[in-house]
Amino acid sequence: MRKVFRFLLSFLFVLASLGVYLSNRVMFLKKKDDEEIFIREKEAGHLHPDDYDALPKREVTIQSSFGYPLKAVLVEPHDSNRYIIIAHGVTQNKTNSVKYMNLFLNRGFNAVIYDHRRHGESGGKTTSYGFYEKFDLKSVVDWLKAEKGRDIFLGIHGESMGAATLLLYAGMLEDGADFYVADCPFSDFSEQLAYRIKEEVKVPPRLLLPVASLFLRIRDKYSLRDVSPITVIENIKNPVLFIHSRKDDFILPSMTEALFEQKKGPKKLFMAENGLHAQSYSENREEYEKVLDEFLKEYVFTRNGVAEPVS
């Protein structure tokens, strides 16, 4: 009996240690240094500091529904009610969003770029890959509409985790924007995590995922199955432009293809030929802009009776 008791204690200790380790890896994924991001974006030609500094803008603090501040920048070079919100990927910050912001500024939109929870200058203790982030996105949308009016013409662009976040926001909460651009999202976080475990740890994911999900539920109050854009994609009625690089080996392009297939109503798919994860724009700039223009003309401006911006 004593041996059985010792075995059980040892098993529980190992289980608890494994659960804490796995959930730590998920909740506290190492972020990129803010200065590193700034230098990278500048050297890539995505950020021109003098041009950015000259834009009419103001820094704002938006209160998350969970009590922490979300740091954002409202950029308004146009006398227009057209706005785009940009949601960055995991480990990044709002500096990473400037290149996408510029695409829309050049098309007559004003913009909001912001830091996700636990990223950049925003508060929040953990990263949840869209679970809590979708509520923060709602806070940003609600703030913008309270500030500029409920009748603004609004789009949301997201990259990687930001793309998954906007799909979860639109599909689980409210279809609160007039259109969405989802660049390299995952379709289901359990599947994504299983794929990364298989690639990086070489351990069968079925042995680790239940433990990770259990400890996320205990420690951060959500489980892996709660982060699944594919399960809510049919709820999104407004147009979605899906983008992915064919060579992406971090989040597989088949995930975006599955989301595209499940989405009902207006949609468009662009599979970029060049670049790895989150590099569709960097490595395919002309094609990216062409597809964006086609999407806006065919599914957004025409559908909503909105005049195309004069370039």
Instruction: Identify the pLDDT of residue 306.
Output: 60
pLDDT (mean) for 168-187: 94
What is the C-alpha to C-alpha distance for residues 180 and 243, in angstroms, rounded to an integer?
11
Q: Which residues pair with 179 in a beta bridge?
A: 155
Which pLDDT band holds residue 1 (cuts at 50, 70, 90)?
A: low
Q: How far apart are CA 37 and CA 197, in angstroms?
A: 26
* pLDDT tens, position by position, 225-255: 999 999 999 999 999 999 999 999 999 999 9
Q: What is the DSSP string of 32-92?
A: PPHHHHHHHHHHTTS--HHHHHHS-EEEEEEE-TTS-EEEEEEE--SSSSEEEEEE--TT-
At 12 the pLDDT is 74
Confidence of residue 6 (pLDDT cuts 50, 70, 90): confident
Confidence of residue 205 (pLDDT cuts 50, 70, 90): confident
Q: Are strands 267-272 and 179-183 parallel, antiparallel or unpaired?
A: unpaired
What does the pLDDT read at residue 304? Answer: 58
Task: Tell me which residue of 274, 289, 277 sits closest to 252, measured CA to CA.
Answer: 277
Q: Which pLDDT does position 14 carry in this prediction?
A: 76
Structure tokens at 137: 């996105």
| Alpha-carbon distances of 266 from 43, 65, 84, 202, 238, rounded to whole Å | 37, 31, 19, 40, 7
Q: Kindly tell me the burial class for residue 125, based on how many C-beta atoms sit within 10 Å of its own C-beta (0-12, 13-18, 19 or more).
A: exposed
Q: pLDDT band at residue 16, thresholds of 50, 70 and 90?
A: confident
- The answer for 181, left when phi > 0, alpha when psi is -120 to 50, beta otherwise, is beta
Distance CA 308, CA 181 (A): 18
pLDDT (tens digit, 9 = 90+) per residue, 254-265?
Answer: 999 999 999 999
Collapsed DSSP state (helix, strand, coil) of residue 243: strand
Distance CA 131, CA 117 (A): 11
What is the average pLDDT across 270-283? Answer: 97
Q: If pLDDT is split at 50, 70 and 90, which confidence band does 166 have?
A: very high
What is the pairing mode between strands 82-87 and 153-159?
A: parallel
Distance of CA 224 to the CA centre of its chain: 16
With bands split at pLDDT 50, 70 and 90, how would you rate the model's confidence at 200?
confident
38-90, pLDDT tens digit by residue?
999 999 999 999 999 999 999 999 999 999 999 999 999 999 999 999 999 99
Residue 4 pLDDT exceeds 70: no
| Residue 109 confidence (pLDDT) | 98
To the nearest whole percent, how much of the chain has pLDDT over 70? 95
Residues 6+ apart with CB under 8 A from 109: 78, 80, 82, 83, 84, 155, 309
The strands making up 179-183's β-sheet, listed across from edge to edge, are 57-63, 69-75, 110-114, 82-87, 153-159, 179-183, 240-245, 267-272
Better-predicted residue by pLDDT, 309 or 236: 236
Structural domains of the chain in order of their starting residue, each with its CATH number: 32-188+227-304 (3.40.50.1820)
The mean pLDDT of the chain is: 94
**Cα pseudo-dihedral 250, 255, 257, 261, rounded to 10:** -170
Burial-class residue 7 by CB neighbours within 10 Å (0-12, 13-18, 19+): exposed
Residue 111 pLDDT: 98
Helices assigned H by DSSP within the chain: 2-27, 34-43, 49-54, 98-105, 133-148, 161-168, 189-200, 205-220, 253-262, 280-283, 285-295, 302-304
Instruction: pLDDT band for 308, please (50, 70, 90 cuts).
Output: low
